[in-house]
Homo-oligomer: A and B are copies of this chain.
Amino acid sequence: MALDTIQTLLHSESARNGITARGWVRTKRDSKSCSFLEISDGSCFKGLQVVVDAALPTAELLPRILTGASVEVVGDLVASPAAGQKWEMQAAELCLLGEADATYPLQKKGHTPEFLRTIAHLRPRTNLFGSVFRVRSKMAYAVHRFFQERGFFYVHTPIITSSDCEGAGEMFQVTTLKPNTPTKPEQDFFGRPTYLTVSGQLQGEAFACALGNIYTFGPTFRAENSNTTRHAAEFWMIEPEMAFYDLTADMTLAEEHVRYLVQAMFDECPDELEFFNKFIDKGLIDRLKQTLAKPFERISYTDAVDILLKSGRNFEHPVVWGDSLQTEHERYLAEEHVKGPVTIFNYPKDIKPFYMRQNDDGKTAAAMDLLVPGIGEIVGGSQREERLDVLEALMSKQGLDPENYSWYADLRRYGSVPHAGYGLGFERLLMFVTGVPNIRDVIPFARTPGHAAY
């Protein structure tokens, strides 16, 4: 019963008579004896050229068929004499499903991304956003495939939570209490204050300590008032967590994962990749090829600090052992020093959250960040502290209420195992594989301070 899509028609093995094509008109060109419609149904990057003979009875509809109109065409799929396309369609009957008049905002001329964000419900009909969101879908599926092929289990960690993971950032409150009304937390839906999750990691660890290898892939939230090209209030995170993995196995998996996704981009989205490389980021294909060319380098944080200090660069933020690496440092390491992806590991323990495993040197934690050119950090992870006494000391040092984390401590109290995991920001990944520079343009309906339309 499946209808033919333009994707299936363009990949036809042979000419076919009596087919039906449906889609939206991208362009219309008239010649003396016929008109050429390019129609797209979003199923693939390319459109289908439809030739409408002026003598056709239904050709009288043509004046009403403008850019954006939807049509259904019955006719034959025939070899195309035009360059760059194998097939075109010779129309026998044309049906106008829905008109689009001159007020249709997506006329042929180019539009700024800023304007297109104001019509987020229509922008996926453009070449750029159609491509972005096809890639988003293919990459999401590739994420699942990567893990499922390796025997990992997908876990839906909760979105509404009463714990705040790691104090990772400002949280949104979730409530059914009326604003501006005297209320008590006990009266709220869950009988206590609840928030939108900032990470599924802690709950993911509980499942890794039962099912072995698991991953989450779901929305996470930050109520930070940041108006940058890299921050959104709602974004999707991938968080695998592996029992019996140490930091080295963790880094290896993260590197395989990023390479797998880049390879999927080449294999499954070649037309979109070419388009992005031509119109959005001319260095894109080269940079992605670099990612596949050789194993990623690994540099300890301490060595990375040395490299930065010896670089002779005048960084805006000074380089000091014990401080976090800033984006400018990360980009120097990936783009100039290594000229490709690089994993930095063993960070100073005092800048890392309580759950990261303490190394024997007394100074560092078994943490890692994977940095890629053009983006900086794309993956952050660590081996988790599996020793109950060490964990409890760290929680107490960071002022956490042991009561709130007693279930998390239970994972160490009963059959504790070495384990590790990481987080991969899905939008960061999409920006990396498409070259699209603003996170607002890789999310269907982006949420940023002041913006929650739709």
Interface residues in chain A, defined as those with a beta carbon under 8 Å from any beta carbon in chain B: 1-3, 5, 7-8, 22, 24-25, 41-43, 68-70, 72, 97-101, 104, 119-122, 124-125, 129-130, 133-134, 136-137, 140-141, 144, 148, 150-163, 170, 172-177, 179-183, 185, 189-192, 194, 196, 202-203, 206-207, 209-214, 218-219, 221, 223, 225, 233-234, 236, 243-245, 249, 252-253, 386, 407-408, 410-418, 443-445, 447, 449-454
Contacts and interface: CB of A to CB of B under 8 A. Distances in A.
Given A151-B7, A207-B444, A190 B452 contact: yes
B444 A156 contact: yes
A372 to B, nearest CB: 21
Given A97-B418, A190-B233, 6 more contacts: A121-B206, A160-B452, A179-B179, A179-B185, A190-B449, A218-B219
A98 B412 contact: yes
A414 to B, nearest CB: 4
A160 B415 contact: no
A175 B193 CA distance: 12
A160 B447 contact: yes
Contacts of A133: 153, 155, 207, 210-211
Nearest to A153: B137
Contacts of A99: 415
A24 B244 CA distance: 11
B173 A176 contact: yes
A97 B414 CA distance: 10
Contact of A175 (B172, B182, B443): B172
B43 A211 contact: yes
Copies of this protein in the complex: 2
Given A98-B417, A206-B121, A134 B190 contact: no
A453 B405 CA distance: 11
Contact of A97 (B141, B158, B185, B416): B416
Nearest to A186: B450
A154 B140 contact: yes
Contacts of A417: 22, 70, 97-98
Leading 5 A-B pairs by shortest Cβ distance:
A98-B416, A42-B211, A124-B210, A190-B452, A137-B153
B190 A450 contact: yes
A155 B43 contact: no
A210 B42 contact: yes
B154 A141 contact: yes
Contacts of A243: 22, 41-42
B153 A134 contact: yes
Contact of A454 (B124, B130, B203): B203
B155 A137 contact: yes
Given A158-B447, A243-B41, A415 B69 contact: yes
B172 A416 contact: no
Nearest to A216: B444
A444 B218 contact: no
Of the listed residues A124, A134, A163, A249, the one surrounded by the most CB atoms of chain B closer than 10 A to its CB is A124
A189 to B, nearest CB: 6
Nearest to A411: B121
Contacts of A236: 156
A104 B371 CA distance: 41
Given A196-B174, A211-B134, A415 B68 contact: yes
A355 B363 CA distance: 61
Contacts of A447: 158, 160, 190
B153 A407 contact: no
Nearest to A249: B1
Contact of A189 (B41, B152, B233, B413): B233
A198 to B, nearest CB: 13
